[in-house]
Amino acid sequence: MSKQPKDASSFCSTTTHSAVKKIVITSQRRCTWLACPDNRFDPFRLMYVEQSVWEVMVKALTLLMVNDYPDYIDAGEWARSLKARVSGLDFRLWPHSGDPGDIELVLIDKGTPRGFFEGMTRLRAVAYLGAGIDGLQLGELPAGVGVVRLATRELASEVVQYIVLRVLCQQRHVFEYAVQQTQKRWRPIAPRKISETGIVILGAGRIGGWAARLFAELGYRSAAWSRNPKQIADVACYAGAPALKEALAERDFVVCALPLTTETRGILNSETFRLMKRGAYLVNVGRGAHVDEAALLHAIDAGQLSGACLDVFTSEPLDQASPLWAHPKVTITPHVASYWLDSGIAQVAGLCEQIKLGNDITNLVNLERGY
């Protein structure tokens, strides 16, 4: 029998995965092995690598979560699910952050207070659990730290569902029929024909582009506007500030699905509303700061817009004193276009493994563009 290799005496467990077996060891060096042709574990076929690699394998990764929306996000479920997926995970919940020098990954769902990153000398990445990074104190972010945006199909699908729901509710007179029901009235209302209905999506990224394609498939005269040129099948695409006027003209519905940047902040204002078709309806799933709320109410009262559905607001929760609450032509929902952010748990687990192994981080936000 061959002599057992040095430092390979203490094995805790083995796990079989198709043609590869992983070994958890307690020795002072990391050991990996090549499977035998018949896929049997041979403890004498070990390859040794340096101590630093072993430390990457077994060290704990410290993650800090900032949960500003406990009604939406179950931090306990995130902790349980991530610990089940990521070995050695030290999960911390703000403000109980412990030593900031331990933290390598931060999860946030809204923003960070000033001075938040002080002392985080080992920080590798910040992951945003929403669609934008506008709440992040970019000026305080340590050099070399990547910002990751969740890019799950489930999250995008929820927002697209919401957009379609709000447009169809307005077009098919759902609200009018609800009033009729309270009055026990039976009066059909003819909806506008789909083929004669124009819609433009402001923002042609994963969410906006998907929504624009879907409306085109439904038969709408669908258009999309974005900062940079895009090509979407059966969708009229516009790009850049000079093209915004043409994109808005003759559109019965205007949907904002833009990221919030210095260029898009306040983009829906009195001037923009004047460019829209008279009687157009606005749906905003972007950010509250895209809309001048006072100008919006004025445009609705003047008949320039027929109404609006708002899921996001400049200040959230929406102040009780806001005139938006009582306006009969404004529909308010409490930032729920996307709700089940736990669809990003698997992506965050993958990010943890990238950090532990020292690999390149994926799905990074372009900080200059803001998305």
Determine the pLDDT at residue 58. Answer: 52
Between 206-218 and 153-171, two packed helices, what is the crossing angle to 10 degrees?
A: 40
Determine the pLDDT at residue 371. Answer: 72
Determine the pLDDT at residue 366. Answer: 85
- Residue 55's identity, in one-letter code, is E
Write down all domains in the chain, each with its CATH number in brackets: 11-57 (no CATH), 192-332 (3.40.50.720)
**Alpha helices for 60-173 (secondary structure H):** 75-85, 153-171
Q: Contact 125/105 with Cβ under 8 angstroms?
A: yes
167: closest CA among 232, 288, 291, 256? 256
Determine the pLDDT at residue 26. Answer: 35
Within 8 A by CB and 6+ apart from 179, the residues are none
Peptide bond into 113 cis (omega under 30): no
Between 96 and 27, the more confident residue is 96
pTM: 0.80
For residue 122, give the DSSP letter: T
Flag whether pLDDT at 47 surpasses 70.
Answer: no
Q: How far apart are CA 107 and CA 325, in angstroms?
A: 32
Q: Of 124, 206, 213, 335, which is the active-site residue?
A: 335
Encode pLDDT of 291-313 as tens digits: 999 999 999 999 999 999 999 99
287 annotated active-site: yes
Stretch among 48-62, 167-181, 329-343 having the lowest mean pLDDT: 48-62
Angle, CA 13 vertex, CA 8 and CA 15 arms, to 5°: 115
Encode pLDDT of 326-344 as tens digits: 999 999 999 999 887 777 8
Average pLDDT, stretch 134-160? 84
Flag whether pLDDT at 155 surpasses 70.
Answer: yes
Average pLDDT, stretch 110-128? 90
Determine the pLDDT at residue 134. Answer: 64
Banded pLDDT at 25 (limits 50, 70, 90): very low
Banded pLDDT at 269 (limits 50, 70, 90): very high
Flag whether pLDDT at 10 surpasses 90.
Answer: no
Determine the pLDDT at residue 344. Answer: 87
Encode pLDDT of 246-257 as tens digits: 999 999 999 999
Determine the pLDDT at residue 361. Answer: 92
Banded pLDDT at 135 (limits 50, 70, 90): low
Q: How far apart are CA 292 and CA 266, in angstroms?
A: 6
Flag whether pLDDT at 4 surpasses 80.
Answer: no
Between 226 and 362, the more confident residue is 226
Flag whether pLDDT at 9 surpasses 50.
Answer: no
Flag whether pLDDT at 64 surpasses 80.
Answer: yes
Q: Of 251, 287, 290, 369, which is the active-site residue?
A: 287
Q: How far apart are CA 281 and CA 182, in angstroms?
A: 25
What's the sign of the alpha-carbon dihedral 170, 176, 181, 186?
Answer: negative
Rg (CA), the chain: 26
Q: Contact 238/216 with Cβ under 8 angstroms?
A: no
Determine the pLDDT at residue 180. Answer: 98
For residue 242, give the DSSP letter: G
92 annotated active-site: no
Q: How many CA atoms lie within 13 A of 17 on its CB side?
A: 5
Average pLDDT of the chain, as a whole number: 85
